[in-house]
Amino acid sequence: MMAEQQGNPEPPKNGQDPETENAEKPEKQPEEELPPFEIVTGSRFPSFFFKFQFRNVEYSSGRNKTFLCFVMDLQGKETGTFRGYLEDEHIAAHAEEAFFNNILPECKAGVKYQVTWYVSSSPCVGCAERITAVLKKNKNLRLMLLVGRLFMWEEPEIQDSLRKMKAAGCKLKIMGPQDFDFVWQNFVEQEEGQEGAFMPWEDIQENFLYYEEKLNEILQ
């Protein structure tokens, strides 16, 4: 059992692979034009992406995708539970925008929407503004947002956008070990020998506590 942490938590470790830490830096290649933007959707994604993209490290170098796993419960004139994930490619748009554009383009009258997102990192300012606007417009929508990491949380604009999301009714939380396990069980492709076996990384709990403290400070 992990001992209770005292004082200010240390910043999350960067999660770099030990064998690459001392490797020679590759020569800088000329920049190539990115292919057209696309949104990837589905029910499960490869475990490699989960282990890399969802890891709750402080420095997200190389983690240039956003994975958004959703559970949407409908009650009222329409009922049902829907699950899936969205993955954005490149920088033209983000998974949060894609959810409202492709998965839930409108909230119908007489239907209550209870939506939970499990996202690899918290939203940028633009996506936070879209979330805030949608929640203000649709009072029959409830959104809980659980994030693995805080994106650029030191920036005043980011902090302000997160507070506006909260004021609009969004419940914003940091993913704990049990939430990573839920994503593993419900949204990750289970390879042979991996079925039902979520293996937490060494610093998962201390990184969760670090980000939880920072989020609480921002939302006060």
Residue 91 DSSP one-character state: S
Give the start-end residues of each E strand in the chain. Answer: 39-42, 67-76, 80-88, 111-121, 141-149, 171-174
Residue 84 one-letter amino acid:
G
**Residue 21 annotated to the active site:** no
CA distance 68 to 135: 18
Q: What share of the chain is helix, strand, coil (3-state, %, to 5)?
A: 35, 20, 45
Please name the residue ranges forming H helices in 13-155.
18-21, 47-53, 95-98, 125-137
Residue 175 · residue 208 · CB < 8 Å: yes
Catalytically annotated residue among 33, 38, 58, 96: 96
The crossing angle, in degrees rounded to 10, of helices 156-167 and 125-137 is 10
Would you call 61 exposed, middle or buried from its count of C-beta atoms within 10 A (0-12, 13-18, 19+)? Answer: exposed
Catalytic positions are: 96
